[in-house]
Amino acid sequence: MNSCCTATGLHKMALPMAALLPLVATLLAASAAAAAVCPTNCGLTDFSYPFGIGPGCSLPGFNLTCDTKNHLLLGSPNVTVDYMISASDPVSVLAVYVVRSVHMGSGAGMFSTSWEGPGTPFAISSASNMSLFVLGCGVTATLLDRGGTGAVVGNCSVVCAGEEIMRRLPDGLCVGLGCCRIDLRAHLRAFTLNISRAGHGVSSDKLSFLVAGRDRYTFRPSDLEHGIDVDKVPPAMLDWAIPDQPDCRRAMDDKVTYACVSNQSECQDSPIGGYVCRCSRGFSGNPYVVDGCTPDLGK
């Protein structure tokens, strides 16, 4: 009856149903007809293949979990996914919050802290105009690329004046008084931030850092005293790409793993390495799914 199984030498009746489930899941993923059985939302957040929840519903690295509070989590190190484009229009950007407050023991001259992205498909792209903002007093921050070479990406120093002056600073000025900024000009999958005391002037134990769009975060001197309001900071944007091949040319050579499976889909090399799929001009939808690209209506 089932020609697929006869052909591969499997006798349908000889296998308990449970043994067939992984096979079914794999076939579903392969055909990406998974929409019927794979969840496509978590609370109010929609997502689409290659992201997915459960076995066979995602490409490697794009495995999501939906927690009991309807927060969407991505991969291991549990990164909360705050924002994802819905099924009709997968865009290769993911918003995550990269914000942290740290206490530097008053005796410590040096402090090191780190961040790691949700996995190899994801990176803060150098093309996305993100900056790392450091809030504090009397320190120098050095940013190192921990994912790749360990190279120094940049540094910045921050000092504070007396309280009176700090209080009168206009909002949005991040130029080394209470706030300094390192522009991210390399792709980052993980970083280490080394902080050392500059050894002069006012020095604070409390330090915060965040990654956000260069023009999106507005430093307020009151953030120094009260700490950053985590609910009000803008998210960092992570680019994502299919990481198993370095570029489209090599991805197309392997028809089995090539992710741009829809007719009328095209491959684009990603700036962070790997590739992304797009629907061709005049079509829209999900290029990662068979028949996902459909003609634009109108015209």
Ligand X SMILES: *[C@@H]1O[C@H](CO)[C@@H](O)[C@H](O)[C@H]1NC(C)=O
Nearer to ligand X, 135 or 169 (CB): 135
Instruction: Work out how close the CB of 197 gets to ligand X at its nearest, in angstroms, rounded to a whole number.
Output: 11
Helix or strand holding residue 100 (H, E)? strand 98-103
Rg (CA), the chain: 24
82, 212 in Cβ contact below 8 A?
no
We find the least distance from the C-beta atom of residue 11 to ligand X, in angstroms, to be 27
Q: How far is the CB of 13 from ligand X (least distance, A)?
A: 28
In the complex, minimum distance from the CB of residue 155 to ligand X, in angstroms, rounded to a whole number: 4
Q: Tokens 């975060």 label which residue?
A: 217
Q: Which is nearer to ligand X, 53 or 169 (CB)?
A: 53
CB nearer to ligand X: pick between 12 and 103: 103
φ, ψ (nearest 5 deg) of residue 185: -110, 20
Instruction: Determine the residue type at 86.
Output: S
Are 185 and 154 a contacting pair, CB within 8 Å? yes
- Name the residue nearer to ligand X (CB basis): 96 or 144: 144
Residues that bind ligand X (CB under 6 A): 55, 63, 65, 76-78, 110, 112, 127-129, 140, 142, 144, 152, 155, 194, 263, 291
Per-residue CA distances from 66 to 13, 105, 238, 289 (Å): 35, 37, 20, 22
Q: How far is the CB of 257 from ligand X (least distance, A)?
A: 16
H/E/C letters for each residue in 153-214?
A: EEEEEEECCCHHHHHHCCCCCCCCECEEEEECCCCECEEEEEEEECCCCCCCCEEEEEEEEC
Which CB sits closer to ligand X, 144 or 169?
Answer: 144
